Amino acid sequence: MPLCFPIFLSSFSYLFFTFCASSLPSFLPLSIPSYFLSPHPPLGVFTRTLRRTPGLRAREVTAQMNRAVYEERPPGGLVPTSVAEASRAMAGDTTLSENYAFAGMYHIFDQHVDSAVPRLQFANDDKHLLACCSLDGTLSIMTLSPPPPTVKVTLKGHAGRVTDFAWSLSNDIIVSTSQDGTLRIWNTEDGRCIREVVDPEGSELLCCTFQPMNNNLTVVGNSKHLLQVVNISTGKRVKGGSSKLTGRVSSLSFDAPGRILWAGDDRGSIFSFLFDMATGKLTKAKRLVVSDGGSISSISARSWISREARDPSLLVNACIHKLLLYRVVDNEGTLQLKRTFPIQHGTQPLHSIFCPLMSFRQGACVVTGSEDACVYFFDVERNTKAIVNKLHGHGGPVLDVSFNCDESLLASSDTTGMVIIWRREQK
């Protein structure tokens, strides 16, 4: 008797082609050559940088699949997890709690001790390379392999607190923002500052993110409520790439295709912007008031929460003692609240993440820091008792968390300057 799976053929095709696209080698189609960042890049280099490559084609396929999510989502939201028995059988009998059990601390970095580490992030598609920024005015790039874990290079040059940073897709460049009013572009191999971009408003720069489909462009948010797109090859703002928010720009996140940008401010609002890929122009689309006066400290976008639940979603930390999960309901980035999780979050700039790997298990996990010095894992599909795991060990509020690409290691940072690397139990 032929096997029958309780899914439609179109849904199966969608899953299959998305999986194939995401399994292709991760070439960097829009990597930035060193000469491109020179003060006088050769004529026409921008055109050559955007030339189609096999890697770009793979990313375009993935982007098309992501866009289809908005159009093909059935009424009522999530694809029911109860019908996906075949997927769960492939995952085995382990629960989410067992899957996200940790054996303990693998290593502790303390080079920034006594100064808070507001952001840290593993490099893209990498198991052992990660970076963090500190309020002491520096950034660190650390490597975990070969052992022992070491600080590979320290990035020095900012004259004020470093507030945020981002890896380029190829991990050869980091951009960082600081309260000194500058955006800096760094070579991750030797730690050189390739370029310094001064904010024309003379304001503190608070957050930044790369345009995912064009790493020549970076979006920066400042303390004077201004959002702006910067071409890091020239150091100039993109015409039409600026917009005002109602407060200090505190967090940024693109969707996977780079078509929608969400920005949060310190007055409790989240704005969505449509990003013109050809020109870099921003068009304000929607505004959601999460709370009146509660800062939006973190925004994280995900096209699929799990293989069984294909709603585009937004994970948000707000200073209202809640972690919020929103459903993205249309092509303009309109948000609909799906779930809230109680955490201690009143004043600190806490961050959270989706777990990077798609799971065949029922349910899906998100991870967040908390002001009670713990790291929390929540199952976003549970209505009650959503805490999957809780890690203790920090001496102050946990500000940021980051998984490596295969989820074997988790990094977390706190207000005391400690960075802890946690190792997952081997199954």
**340 neighbors 322 (Cβ within 8 angstroms):** yes
What is the rounded distance in angstroms from the CA atom of residue 84 to the CA atom of residue 304?
A: 15
- Structure-token pair, residue 74: 């059935």
Task: Tell me the CA end-to-end span of the chain in Å, nearest whole number.
Answer: 34
The one-letter amino acid at 69: V
Confidence (pLDDT) at 264? 98
Confidence (pLDDT) at 73? 42
pTM score of the predicted model: 0.80
Confidence (pLDDT) at 383? 80
**242 neighbors 281 (Cβ within 8 angstroms):** no
Confidence (pLDDT) at 427? 62
Confidence (pLDDT) at 308? 60
Q: Residue 368: how many CB atoms within 10 A of its CB?
A: 24
What is the rounded distance in angstroms from the CA atom of residue 133 to the CA atom of residue 288?
A: 29
Confidence (pLDDT) at 293? 86
Q: What is the mean pLDDT of each run of 10 residues along the chain (427 residues)?
A: 41 44 40 41 35 42 42 41 46 69 92 97 97 99 96 98 98 98 98 96 96 97 98 96 98 97 98 97 98 95 74 95 97 96 97 84 86 96 89 98 96 98 86
Confidence (pLDDT) at 364? 84
**198 neighbors 181 (Cβ within 8 angstroms):** yes
Domains and CATH numbers, the chain: 9-90 (no CATH), 96-424 (2.130.10.10)
Confidence (pLDDT) at 342? 96
